[in-house]
Structure 1
Amino acid sequence: MQTESSSAPGSEQSARRHASSAEERVKHQQRRGLWSIPLAGAGLALVFLVLGWQDWQAYRDSRAALATSSAWHGADMLELELQRLQRQGALFSRSMPALADHLQRIGDRQEEQVQMDALLSQWFMNYESYAFFPVADCDIHFPSAWASYCAEDSYASHVLTDHPGESLSLLVPLRDSGGDEFMLWVRLGFAPFTELLETLSLDGQRGVLLSPEEAARRTDLLARVAIPSTGWVLGVQPDAGAWWQQRMYIAKRVGGAVLLVLLGVLLLVFLRVRGLREAQRRRELESTHAQLYEQATHDALTGLFNRYAFNEHFQRLTRQSQRLQQPMAVLLIDIDHFKQVNDQWGHEAGDGLLRKVAEVIGERARRPLDMAARLGGEEFAVLLEGVTSADAWALGELLRLHVADLRLPHPTRSFVSVSVGVSCSGPDHFIPLKDLLERADRALYAAKGGGRNRVIGDWEVDA
């Protein structure tokens, strides 16, 4: 009884330990599942924040590119406007040769000055006032930085610029009837340049004219261009309202696209997996097709094209040669006394010999439209595009010498040699493949009959 009573509490404690352990495992799994939700949410939120930041950077880059283009365009427009004013001053000076004498007579007469103001208003838009004085008095009327224009040798008008936004100064040199030099100082308003700046203020940007010192201090400029012959810098700054609207738009789009992007990711994964499977199947089909094409068009032993591929290529090459009025040639090659190699050394040695000779023959057909083929047994052919009979014979002789230079052993001869028959076609008269091969075969037969290891053209046989 004592044994039973003592064993029962142990069993209960063991059961409780097992139950507690199972419960802990369940709680642990539940905690892991609970924590996985905010972790996944945080990861997804981070992804969307990165995407939103990339959108904002892309917007900034596009605005910067537009600002750079606008700044260069605006600088060209401003420079053209300054050049126009300068030309207008020169034209004004030339059209009124007696203007200096007239201005001297005006003096302080108010009525005459009003008439002069009216004349200048007709010539120059945004006219404000003028001053007229001898060149010798430039130091009195002009700032020291401008006085040098009176001392220049060139007798031309100048547009002088000061701080952006202030009046322009058009200097028009004049001479009176006595040859004395004078300076007409015409002050013009800044309105034309303000209008040009307004044309740049679009699509989230604004054009501003600054001095070099101000431009150096500004850190918010998207682009800046120095305008030649002036002390101005054309800058393009972002429009605060437009940029704020863009930020809000990106924020709303990122915040509202969480579910859509998640579904899009799942769809993209599905499409990607299917695309990879289709691409794999397509590669397998292409590989199978390439293997089948290789087997159908190439000789398995030598790797050269077979007779079927040779016939097909001949038809294509004939059409092209006829269209371009170019000649073509066929070299028919036969290994001399090849049967003796098979009979005495076996077919394995014969196959090795065929492969070595085929490698030399293949080297002669490196151009895109040339072709080397094994027609059967120890007979090979090389189809050459755009070569004359003399060139074809020379290529055949070069092939024969290359085979001879290998010094391949032969059971009854000093070394392995080849005989070559040459036949040509076109450009005046194209010969069918059957006739061309027959002529090359006659030339090859003549080469064998003449002692082998030589090249003979069909024209030598006909002669």
Structure 2
Amino acid sequence: MATVAVSVIPYYKPVTMLLIYLPVHIIFMAFMLRFQKSNYVQYANNLNSSTFLMISLAISYMRYKKQIEDFKNRKIIQEKNEELKRVNKELEEANHKLDILSQTDSLTRVFNRFAFDKAIEAEWNRCKRYSMPLSLIIVDVDFFKAYNDNYGHQAGDVCIRRIAEALSSCLERPTDFVARYGGEEFGVLLPGIEKEEAYLLSERMRKKVEELSIPHEHSAASRWVTISMGVNTAFPSLEPSLEGFIRAADMALYKAKEMRNTTVTV
């Protein structure tokens, strides 16, 4: 009976089990009076059985308390783990947002120069590895200084933002990339795009900006805000350097700016 008590009581409150086993123990001692004639042996049996029961109850109580403590500790640990998971998830989301913000131009909401530099290096290496073409379009807003000087910097900010939206709307592939290159310049990265297709896309961008019909009475190119673009396409596996690739696109843009509101390819 003591063994049974030790094995079972940890799952119940000791008081509950005492109320169950005490009547059984009393019945046991009553039967001992009937079947055991020796008072000495009867006393010894009663003493032994009672002692074993008390010891088993004491041990079971300690085991019960230990189990309760273990349960509480497991619950605390579980709650802490869930809290830690929640905090880690929030931290990951915050880091992800921070990473996006660190690569986003605050005015135009397209990628910034930092993101552009990382992307063009990665795409250069990827296209070089797979012998793919890489096209770069550098965009400049025509006579933007005159626009700022006459319409104000707030109007200039709105103008730049609308142009960024127009350029982005022309891209159809997730690998294509628009970034604010600096000031009124944008860089458009087109991995896997040949020269002819890059030219057609740049012309679509140029016309899209014209369709915005942003008034620019102080431009020598048009009554509206216009853009000029330099386009360069190369196979990185055959080109000596990324710097030379970007420089060639800059030279094409320089030629386009001499004529204004046009696209020049190299």
Q: What is the TM-score with the length of structure 1 in the denominator? A: 0.41
**Aligned to 1:434, which of 239, 243, 246?**
243
Which residue, out of 114, 131, 143, partners 1:325? 131
Deviation at 1:343, TM superposition (A): 0.5
Q: Which one-letter code corresponds to 2:81 in the other structure?
A: G
2:264 maps to which residue? 456
Identity over aligned residues, as a percent?
A: 32
**Post-superposition offset of 1:405:** 1.1
Which amino acid letter does the alignment assign opposite residue 354 of structure 1? I
Assess if the C-alpha contact under 8 Å between 2:215 and 2:225 holds in 1.
yes
Partner of 1:338: 144
- Give the secondary structure class of the aligned counterpart of 1:334: strand
- Corresponding residue SS for 1:353: helix
Residues 407/305 of structure 1: CA separation in 2 closer, same or farther (3 Å cut)? same
Deviates more, 1:277-286 or 1:306-315: 277-286
Aligned AA for 1:316? A
Q: Any idea what SS the aligned residue of 2:139 has? A: strand
User: Does structure 1 retain, via aligned residues, the 8 Å contact 2:229–2:256?
Assistant: yes
Secondary structure at the residue paired with 1:422?
strand
Alpha-carbon shift at residue 363 of structure 1 (Å): 2.7
C-alpha separation in 2, matches of 1:260 and 1:454: 83
1:275 corresponds to which residue?
81
- Give the SS at the match of 1:456: strand
- Partner residue in 2 for 1:307: 113
Compute the displacement of 1:296 (Å): 2.5
Query: Is residue 421 of structure 1 aligned with residue 230 of structure 2?
Result: yes
How far, CA to CA, are the matches of 2:194 and 2:69 in structure 1? Answer: 68
**1:282-297 correspondence runs (5 A):** 282-297=88-103
Deviation at 1:428, TM superposition (A): 5.2
Quote the offset at 1:276 in angstroms.
Answer: 2.9
CA distance in 1: counterparts of 2:205 and 2:129, whole angstroms: 29
Measure how far apart 1:444 and its partner are. Answer: 1.1
**Distance in 2 between the 1:410 and 1:283 partners?**
49
Alpha-carbon distance in structure 2 between the residues aligned to 1:289 and 1:279? 15
Normalization by structure 2: what TM-score? 0.68
Q: Summarize deviations over 1:219-253 as a string: whole Å, max 9, x none.
A: xxxxxxxxxxxxxxxxxxxxxxxxxxxxxxxxxxx
What does the per-residue CA deviation read over 1:192-238, in whole Å, with 9 as the maximum and x for residues that have no partner? xxxxxxxxxxxxxxxxxxxxxxxxxxxxxxxxxxxxxxxxxxxxxxx
Contact 1:340 1:411 in 2 (8 A): no
Which residue of structure 2 aligns with residue 385 of structure 1? 191
Residues 397 and 261 of structure 1: is their aligned pair in 2 closer, same or farther, counting only changes over 3 Å? farther
Q: Which runs of 4+ in 1 moved over 4 A?
A: 258-265
- Structure with greater proportional strand content: 1
**2:218 corresponding residue in structure 1:** 412
Matched-pair contact (CA < 8 Å) for 2:202–2:263 = yes
Which amino acid counterpart does residue 447 of structure 1 have in structure 2?
A
User: Equivalent residue for 2:169?
Assistant: 363
Shift of 1:431: 4.9
* Distance in 2 (alpha carbons) for counterparts of 1:307 and 1:433: 16
What residue identity is the alignment partner of 1:345? Y
The letter of the residue matching 2:234 is: S
Residue 295 of structure 1: how far off its partner (Å): 3.3
Q: Deviations over 1:181-202 (max 9, x none)?
A: xxxxxxxxxxxxxxxxxxxxxx
Other structure's SS at 1:383 match: strand
Higher Rg of the two aligned structures: 1
Which amino acid in the other structure matches residue 214 of structure 2?
L
Kindly report the root-mean-square deviation, in angstroms, between the aligned alpha carbons of the 2 structures. Answer: 2.4
Number of aligned residues: 202
Q: Which has the higher contact order (CA 8 A, sep 6+)?
A: 2
List gaps (5 residues or longer) in structure 1: 1-37, 42-257, 459-463
The DSSP-based 3-state class of the residue aligned with 1:429 is coil
Cα offset for 1:330?
Answer: 0.2
**How far apart are residue 312 of structure 1 and its match?**
1.4
Contact 2:127 2:237 in 1 (8 A): no
> Residue 329 of structure 1 contacts residue 423 of structure 1 at CA under 8 Å; is this kept in 2?
yes
Q: Within 1, Cα distance between the matches of 2:98 and 2:186? A: 22
Distance in 1 (alpha carbons) for counterparts of 2:153 and 2:197: 35
Which structure carries more helix by proportion? Answer: 2
Distance 1:286 1:428, change over 3 A: closer
Change (3 A) 1:420 1:275: same
Assess if the C-alpha contact under 8 Å between 2:179 and 2:188 holds in 1.
Answer: yes
